[in-house]
Amino acid sequence: MAGIKFSVLIVLAIFKIGMAAGPMTHLYLGEKYCSYHIDSHEKTEEFLVGTLYPDIRYVAHFPREKTHSQVSGLDEVSKCPSVFQSGVKFHSWVDQFREEFVEKSGIYEFVIPYAKGKEATLLKFIEEEILANHYDGRTWSGSFDHIHHEELEFASEEQIRKWHSMIQYCMGYRISWLTWAASYLTSHGFGVSCEVLYEWSYLLPELANDPRFQTHVGDLLSFIEEKMEESLPK
């Protein structure tokens, strides 16, 4: 029970912070990048572990700047000395373009009525709930059964194992289920009350069927994928 509580609450911590993409959105876009730039399953696994790694800071408690940096473009991603480090850079690149897209889209106008003042958090919940209808991240669950040696640069083995467990929870359960579970596990989950989490857990499947949010997610993913394709050799 303690392990489940830890994993669920860390999931909510990740979603609460700023304009970053949710973990399954990062995984989906990382897989897309690999389809263009990575030539083996083994390297793809290494890249995907890398692209989900930066948010381990919620477990290891170090500053965001340690694993998140401004990225000038995908050339910088591809020129990293290892595939794992390319994944880490790609994470920041995705966050930058998601923030750009969301700020210009006006989508918060439709989120605010349901958000109880936590629109950034709820929007990421909605995005991940919709993505779950089209993408099964469990394909890569086994990639997080072992520790990549470069992960040990910033975190301990125990922290990494906890992080991998949390990622596998995200792969295995919809965010609506995780918010429902968290509403029973904490009285005030990272700035969101248990009452609001409970309400959202039932609201998320409904919002995921709203054409406005479905269009938002489709346009967001297309926007970032087009940015990836622009970097390909002509």
105 DSSP assignment? H
Under 8 Å between Cβ of 49 and 94: no
Sequence-distant (6+) residues with CB within 8 A of 45 are: 140, 143
Under 8 Å between Cβ of 204 and 182: no
pTM beyond cutoff 0.85: yes
Q: Domain boundaries in the chain?
A: 2-230
Amino acid 165 reads S
pLDDT at 187 over 80: no
Would you place residue 41 in the very low, low, confident or very high pLDDT band (cuts 50, 70, 90)? Answer: very high
- What is the helix (H) or strand (E) element at residue 188, kind and residue range? strand 188-189
- Average pLDDT score over the chain: 88
Would you place residue 33 in the very low, low, confident or very high pLDDT band (cuts 50, 70, 90)? Answer: very high
pLDDT at 182: 81
Q: In the structure encoding, which two tokens stand for residue 8, read together?
A: 């669920």
148-182 tens-digit pLDDT = 999 999 999 999 998 998 899 889 989 999 888 88
pLDDT at 2 over 50: no
| Partners of 193 in beta bridges | 188
